[in-house]
Amino acid sequence: MPETALKGPISFVCPKCKSALRSTEKALQCSECNRTYPLVGDIPDFISESSSASIDPSDRGIRFFNILAPIYESWLWQTFFLALNGGAGKTSLQSIAGFMAETLRDVTGNVLDVACGPATYARRMVSPDRNIYGIDFSMGMLRQGKNHITRDGVSGVHLARTRVEELPFENAIFDGAICGGSLHLFPDTMLALREIARTLKAGAPLAVTTVVAGNSPGARSMKRHGGHAFELSELQQYLSETRFEGFTSKQDGTFITFSTRKAAPRI
């Protein structure tokens, strides 16, 4: 039976109070708490209004990713996945994109791409029956993503600068989500997973690539730089506590791909 036609893009809501936003020429404004979020080109910036940039500890990280943006995809592939995590010869950008596409193969409607970088995977997952919402904390990455999207003539990818802990989306609005190479970088894994779960519909799949503990330069470097190198059991516990179920994983060295699903609500 044919699905109902794809609805237009969903509306962002205020990441703080989750109320509707009014659109002006250069900003989105919350109708409830009056916060104003500037538009950079057509990318809403949900971070600059609400944080004091000078004292934000993640600023250094943001600057690093802004500098990295133009070369991100080659860096991602050659350095991080292949060399650092012992997946050489087994893992590639293409194989990860393939894993994500496969996990979300039955998903139509709205897809969330958490920490999308320059829309690396989002651009490879577009289809006429999907809208993909890429969020990242680096405006440099998002602008690079916008350039790639324009260059490739891709449609259906929408970008916003926001933190994973405060997503500018209503509850249960996404039919699926991906999170490539960043779960171990979020300061509070549980908070991040809980917020992702909040925005997912029951049964919606989540595809993740991340780093697990082990003796690889990638895992050691992750610990040194304040990231997490998860024990597999720890990761599964986080997921179960944040209402995910059906964990399936594949590991190459200390690099892991896994899929899971938002559990149905408890009755």
Tell me which residues touch Zn ion (CB under 5 A).
Answer: 14, 16-17, 19, 30, 32-33
What whole-number distance in Å separates Cα of residue 61 and Cα of residue 37?
Answer: 21
Measured from the CB atom, the residue of 16 and 148 that comes closer to Zn ion is 16
Of 33 and 264, CB closest to Zn ion = 33
Q: How far is the CB of 245 from Zn ion (least distance, A)?
A: 32
- For Zn ion, the closer of residues 28 and 256 by Cβ is 28
Closer to Zn ion by CB, 4 or 34: give it: 34
Q: Which is nearer to Zn ion, 45 or 113 (CB)?
A: 45
136's tokens: 């990242």
The closest alpha carbon to 179, from 225, 221, 233, 242, belongs to 242
Nearest approach, Cβ of residue 242 and Zn ion (Å): 24
- Work out how close the CB of 115 gets to Zn ion at its nearest, in angstroms, rounded to a whole number: 23
**Least CB distance from residue 18 to Zn ion, whole Å?**
7
CA atoms within 13 A on the CB side of 213: 7
- Residues 143 and 138: their CA atoms lie apart, in Å, by 9
Q: Are strands 205-211 and 255-262 parallel, antiparallel or unpaired?
A: antiparallel
Helix (H, G, I), strand (E, B) or coil at 55: helix
Query: Nearest approach, Cβ of 22 to Zn ion (angstroms)?
Result: 11
φ/ψ of residue 103, rounded to 5: -60, -35
